[in-house]
Amino acid sequence: MLQFIYSQLIRLALPFILLRLWWQGRQAPELRINWQQRLGFVPRASGTVVWVHAVSVGETIAAAPMVRRLLARNPNITILMTAMTDTGQTQAMKMFGDQVQYAYAPYDTPGAIRRFLNRVNPRILVIMETEIWPNMIRQSRSRGVPVFLINARLSERSALGYERVKRLVAPIMRSISWVAAQAEKDAERFRRIGVAASKVAVTGSVKFDVDIPDSVRAASRQLKNRLSERPVWIAGSTHEGEDAQLLAAHQQLLQHKPDALLIIVPRHPERFESVADLIGRQGFPLARRSLGDELSNAQVYLGDTMGELMMLYGASDVAFVGGSLIERGGHNPLEPAGWGVPVISGPNVFNFETIYERLLDDGGVTLVNDGDELFLRLLALFSNTDERHASGQRALLVVNKNKGALDRVVDGIIERV
């Protein structure tokens, strides 16, 4: 009954969801492209299809090493990557080109999911992290399609929320074939909300298996050469409410390091213009990557392109990971750590608690509470080359010693394909 009520509510909401999509498409026309796919009208697929669902950019990047490894192990399979956002799909296309197929994930109505499954006929569904869509999971299992949650994480806050609707969630959890959890705490929370203990394994986080392609390394070196010997720090994946604090920290840093450069990369492309306006109002000379602006006179470089954050991390001397000075929960600190770059974050990192615990245990990250503390840490690192190098190496060591989850995950998928 609860599943039926949920499905009816999604159906009733669908016209409003489509109207919102059309409205957002006024400023981002790419949102209107292939909108029919969101109703399940996707191109037909053939062969052994592994459906990899990654909601947006972060999950898509996390899925990349797994997808590459799957294709290397079994080149005859067809990988279909889906995302809920245009930025996630753009990221996937940038990474894989014509190696895989792409589609927008269908909205979670019974009809959209049914049409999607009829056209794709997947052998297995791999969901990155914790995207729990009732109709997607239940209909896949009813067709005999194994459903895996890979790199699965579940915060205590989310677990408590699911427990409040356990009558709805438990049947869905029972439909999941395998949960590859990042840590024992995540595994215990999945068991609490209804996943059988025999279906839960602690594999570690595949995000530790940082994969930096040679092309990204080359582009990073090229940009680094353009920046010469300037002190460069990056604020990646920033959100509204953080940018002003970051710019204030940079203003203080410039008083001590006049040639310092801040690379700021908003998490969402719809914020590029508003962040550019903020930088201009603050009086910083600005260069925009999308325009190919000259960097020599810039104090702030706006990373207003898609799919280049990993490269920009590599061109920087210090990295701040956004979404952490506000109640957003943070973003992936292993991307800069994989470059051996010192990592700084705000205090709100509950979305990556296991990763941050391991970084903190080995001194691979510094947490700051506000822009003033951020400035002090930046000044300390830029005033001491040895400490800056040592901090980056500590972060890289954490990445290297926690690798291995990817092999365990790929082995588990290959066994069932």
What positions carry a catalytic annotation?
A: 59
Going by C-alpha positions, the residue among 236, 288, 229 that lies closest to residue 259 is 229
Q: CA 417, CA 413: separation in Å to the nearest integer?
A: 6
Tokens for 178?
């395998």
DSSP track, 79-136? EEEEESSHHHHHHHHHHHGGGSEEEEPPPSSHHHHHHHHHHH--SEEEEES----HHH
Amino acid at 168: L
Strand order in the sheet with 286-288: 286-288, 300-302, 261-266, 232-238, 318-321, 343-345, 366-367
Looking at beta carbons, which pairs linking 292-295 to residues 24 or more positions away fall under 8 Å? Answer: 295/226, 295/227, 295/261
Task: Determine contact, residues 318/295, Cβ cutoff 8 Å.
Answer: no
User: Cα(309)–Cα(123) distance, rounded to whole angstroms?
Assistant: 33
Residue 152's H or E segment, with its range, is strand 147-152
Q: How far apart, in whole angstroms, are the C-alpha atoms of residue 289 and residue 279?
A: 14
* Percentages (nearest 5) of helix, strand, coil residues in the chain: 55, 15, 30
178: left (phi over 0), alpha (psi -120 to 50) or beta: beta
Angle subtended at Cα 69 by Cα 64 and Cα 172, rounded to the nearest 5 degrees? 65
Distance between CA atoms of residues 167 and 189, nearest Å? 16
Residue 137: half-sphere exposure toward Cβ, Cα within 13 Å: 23
The amino acid at residue 191 is R
